[in-house]
Structure 1
Amino acid sequence: MDWVLIAQPRISSGIGTVIVNSEWMGTFTHDSDMCNKLHMAGVPVWYVRTMAYIPANMKVHKPVLITHSDDIVISMYAEGNRIRPYDIIYRGQGGHQRQLHVRHLYGGTTFRNPDVTVPSSASSSSFSTPNSSALTPSSQTSAAGRAPQQSLKKHRRQPYAREARPTQPSQSGESRDKWKDPESPYLPPSLLHWDDALKTCNKDPSRVHMPYAIDWGYRFPEPALLLGPKLPERLQGYIATWLACHLLWIGRVDHDLPCNYPSPQLWRDFLGSGLTTQSQGAAPKGKDPEKKGPTAAEKCKAVMRDLFGSVEFRGEQVLVASLANPPRRLTQRITWELFELGFRYELRDLNRSLAGKHWADDLIGREQLLHSIFPGKAGLVMWSEQFPEDNYGMWNNTLIGVLPYLEKFRELICAWDGAPPLLVALLTPDSFTDTKCWEVMHTATVFYVQTFFRHFGRPPIVPHSIPL
């Protein structure tokens, strides 16, 4: 009624007041004319625009970053082959623990208070955290729908454990060189500048800063680790488990940083947690091996089908059954997103550490500078936008398309200690040629990779070409 009797007549007549009624809820708009009208009518209003598009004659009371609450459920859950919305099972104070509490794929205990510790002797449907280094069969069903840090929080690393070695044992027992991509049809094409930067990096362990000031764990699973399993049923399990939890984990990394990021082994344990011990091994001892029954692969497929049915990627429903032999284009898109997410959030954490004074002096400005390196309106988060159909941002095929994003990247990292002189100079359209673009790109990627190694003791996750 206040809107009808007070605000609307003021807007229609053009006679308003600059006294804003703080008791009104207010509104959001991206129209500058409507913003002025609402403000003059006394309505609290938030003008949603980047700083570059705000009219010069508009007086901004206070710039703010757009965020979302951690306790809002923004996805659906799968029950068998059916997708259902969450039931309203709790009303009261929100929080991250309660959100995790209702995301399980089975019922029976969701009415319990998630803050109460459940005894370890509880049944398989309890919400206790696994105590062993590997998930037990009774806890695997619940773990598949949770974020890795929540499921595996009992795993703790030594504070200054090192991972500076260029090779790391893979799941199959072979050593893998993490400084280059393994041969796989499921990985997107690499980018020339980043390939060269990884090859030329000085990998001497003595150059690593110790003790670690930044958590060296992996913000997201390594794309090569996601594709590590050789058996089709285990590959299916890894991809399905990641897709089932990736929205929750992205939100966690973006808004509610975990105490410790998972190591590669923890990611491997988590991604394989949807598979029961029985589905992975041969026939149990004491039974006739010639007796007919489901094979290990068939058991594994049944487990995955019962757990998920279907999972979602970029708004598209993906049948878990199709992931035993995953489509090449879909898998390349999944791994491309992992490369991009890993790069963005590692860049964020490294920059916050190396340019801490800039962040302390101008938090909003540094956040906007970081976000402006990447196209789109979602900041560092990507799953809320459509999948790009062509290389964009710093990897655009035209100079005019590359310039604004490369300039922001240069501006961000030139504040780090030891920045090359070439990165200090401002990039302008007049002097931005193909040669200049190549020189700055080459210098920036080499500087980033070497700086990252000094502070993390491992190779960074770097961007890749969009799979077309």
Structure 2
Amino acid sequence: MPPPIPAWQLALVEVDRSQPVPPTSEIWPYWIPEPSLVIGSHCLDRQRRYLINWVRARPIWLSLLQLPDHPIPAVNSQGWRVYLNGVPDDPSLGTTTGRRALEIKQVFGAILAGEDIEPAGGGDVRWHGTQFSEVPEALCPWVVWELHELAFRYELVALDRVCCPTTTFEQEVEAEDRIARVFPHQGLWSVTHIPTADESGLFARVPQRRVAALNALRDVVARWPGCPAALLNAKRMTIRDVGAVVELEKIIAHFYVHTFFALAGRPPILPHFLPTTPSSSSAALPVR
């Protein structure tokens, strides 16, 4: 796993989980599969299978998420688990697992109609300019980092739409532009390139390199109901405000995580620091 960002990890730990769990129908689905699901299995073969099946589906799935008029059925955690594990061609209807597999196959079949990205379909795939048939070991942390990053972006957009509904196309464009500023040098809807260690963003280890992204994120959440005064009254940080960066980051993370949990009925997927291993796979071999 890529390293967690302490402020965000602390906010997740501090969430009040004593309230009753909402009905399944009220819990938000996952636009992007949970990173902990993808690599959470103790079985290495299953981890590899989940990773390659996600990389195989990733380009088409992301392109469909960006189509405003394309209905994307809700996919819960179990649905992603079944799909990434590889849905058999003819699931057995005699077991619960088989029936669930058939349901998931029908869901993804409707979403990805006409696209040749069947899980476990074999053949090479491309990920940020690298081609492979199994995810190289050196790239695994980066694929997982991108999962965190993508999920956080889509969940941030969804949460902003609930907290600050728009009524016109112009307002929606303005809201998306505001959120896009949280991710400088990147597109909002996809990770356009793998960042280097000296790039700015929420993922940067050096606090000064997180300033612009945190200022932009503060501009987003400051419009939400219940935003704490400490954020509403906070001045825009500069790279000289080293001590203030981490403190403001804690307030933003706490407000975001608690707001998401209250509305979504589940924990959010959080941004992470960049992995410590190089992203270049030139010397990496497929995992055996």
TM superposition score category, shorter chain reference: 0.7 to 0.9
C-alpha separation between the residues in 2 aligned to 1:414 and 1:188? 28
Give distance in 2, aligned partners of 1:316 and 1:453: 36
User: Amino acid of the residue matched to residue 77 of structure 2?
Assistant: P
For 1:221, give the aligned amino acid: P
Confirm or deny: 8 A CA contact 1:407 1:427 kept in the other structure.
no
Which amino acid is 1:247 matched to?
Answer: P
Q: Which amino acid aligns with 2:127?
A: F
TM-superposed CA distance for 1:344, in Å, is: 0.4
Q: Deviations over 1:210-263 (max 9, x none)?
A: 984xx6001111111112343343333222211111100111112245343211
**Partner of 2:109 in structure 1?**
none
Q: Deviations over 1:183-220 (max 9, x none)?
A: xxxx11111001100111111325969984xx600111
Alpha-carbon separation, structure 2, partners of 1:272 and 1:446: 34
Name the TM-score, length of structure 2 as normaliser: 0.76
SS in 2 for 1:219: coil
Contact 1:403/1:427 (8 A) holds in 2: no
Cα 1:432/1:395, change in 2 over 3 Å: farther
| Equivalent of 1:464 in 252, 267, 272 | 272
Distance 1:386 1:380 in 2: 12
Paired residue secondary structure (1:451)? helix
Task: Give the match for residue 314 of structure 1.
Answer: 128
Report how far residue 466 of structure 1 moved.
0.7
Relative to structure 1, the CA distance from residue 423 to residue 254 in structure 2 (aligned partners, 3 Å threshold; closer, same or farther) is: same
Q: Say whether the 8 Å CA contact 1:194–1:445 is kept in structure 2.
A: yes
Kept in 2: contact 1:358–1:366 (CA 8 A) = no
Compared with structure 1, are the counterparts of its residues 433 and 308 closer, same or farther at alpha carbon in structure 2 (3 Å cutoff)? same
Percent identity of paired positions between Structure 1 and Structure 2: 26
Q: 1:455 to 1:377 in 2, by over 3 A?
A: same
Which residue does 1:260 correspond to in 2? 73
TM-score (structure 1 length as normaliser)? 0.48
Q: 1:341 maps to what in 2?
A: 150
Determine which of 399, 404, 424 is the counterpart of 2:232. Answer: 424
Does structure 1 residue 364 correspond to structure 2 residue 178?
no
Please give the residue correspondences for 1:56-67 in structure 2 after superposition, counting only pairs within 5 Å.
none
Secondary structure of the 1:362 match is helix
Of 187, 193, 199, 1:386 maps to 193
Report the equivalent of 1:196: 10
Aligned mates of 1:221, 1:202 — CA distance in 2: 24
CA 1:272/1:395 → structure 2, altered by over 3 Å: closer, same or farther?
closer
Do the aligned partners of 1:217 and 1:260 also contact (CA within 8 Å) in 2?
A: no
Q: Structure 1 residues 196, 274: closer, same or farther in 2, change over 3 A?
A: same
CA contact (8 A) 1:223 1:335 kept: yes
8 Å contact 1:373–1:406 — kept in the other structure? yes
> Would the aligned equivalents of 1:222 and 1:264 in 2 still touch at CA under 8 Å?
yes
Query: 1:209 and 1:244, CA in 2 relative to 1: closer, same or farther beyond 3 A?
Result: closer
Query: Equivalents in 2 of 1:306, 1:344: separation in Å?
Result: 27
Q: Tell whether 2:83 aligns with 1:270.
A: yes
Shift of 1:438: 2.0
User: Take 2:121 and 2:19, find their aligned partners in 1: how far apart are those partners?
Assistant: 43
- Number of the residue aligned with 1:161: none
CA drift at 1:378:
2.1
- The whole-number CA distance in structure 2 between the counterparts of 1:464 and 1:421 is 26
For residues 248 and 121 of structure 2, the distance between their equivalents in structure 1, rounded to whole angstroms, comes to: 48
Q: Which amino acid aligns with 1:264?
A: S
Q: How many residues align?
A: 248
- The farther-off stretch of 249-258 and 439-448 is 249-258
Tell me the secondary structure at the aligned position of residue 196 of structure 2. Answer: coil
Q: Check 1:427–1:389 CA distance in 2 against 1; reply closer, same or farther (3 A cut).
A: same
1:217 and 2:15 are equivalent in the alignment: no
Q: Do the aligned residues in 2 keep the contact of 1:208 with 1:453 (CA within 8 Å)?
A: no
What letter is aligned with 1:268? R
Does 2:212 match 1:404?
Answer: yes
3-state SS of 2:179 partner: helix
The verdict on how the C-alpha distance between 1:309 and 1:418 changes in structure 2, with shifts beyond 3 A counting, is same
CA 208–449 in structure 1, closer or farther in 2 if over 3 Å, else same: farther
Q: Is the 8 A contact 1:208 1:456 kept in 2?
A: no
In 2, the alpha carbon distance for the partners of 1:208 and 1:400 equals 39
Alpha-carbon distance between aligned partners in 1 of 2:28 and 2:227, rounded to the nearest angstrom: 22
Distance 1:415 1:211, change over 3 A: farther
2:194 aligned partner, one-letter code: F
1:450 maps to which residue?
A: 258
Report the structure number with the largest CA radius of gyration.
1
In structure 2, relative to structure 1, the CA distance for the partners of 1:267 and 1:397 (3 Å cut) is: closer
Secondary structure of the residue aligned to 1:348 is helix
Residues 254 and 381, structure 1, Cα contact 8 Å, conserved in 2: no
Which whole-Å CA distance do the structure 2 matches of 1:232 and 1:445 have between them? 32
SS in structure 2 of the partner of residue 312 of structure 1? strand
* CA pair 272-398 structure 1, distance change in 2 beyond 3 A: closer
Instruction: Tell me the SS of whatever aligns to 2:148.
Output: helix
Offset from partner CA, 1:368-417 (integer Å, 9 cap, x none): 111010022422311xx221121631343555533222111001001111
> What does residue 113 of structure 1 align with?
none
The one-letter amino acid of 1:307's match is G
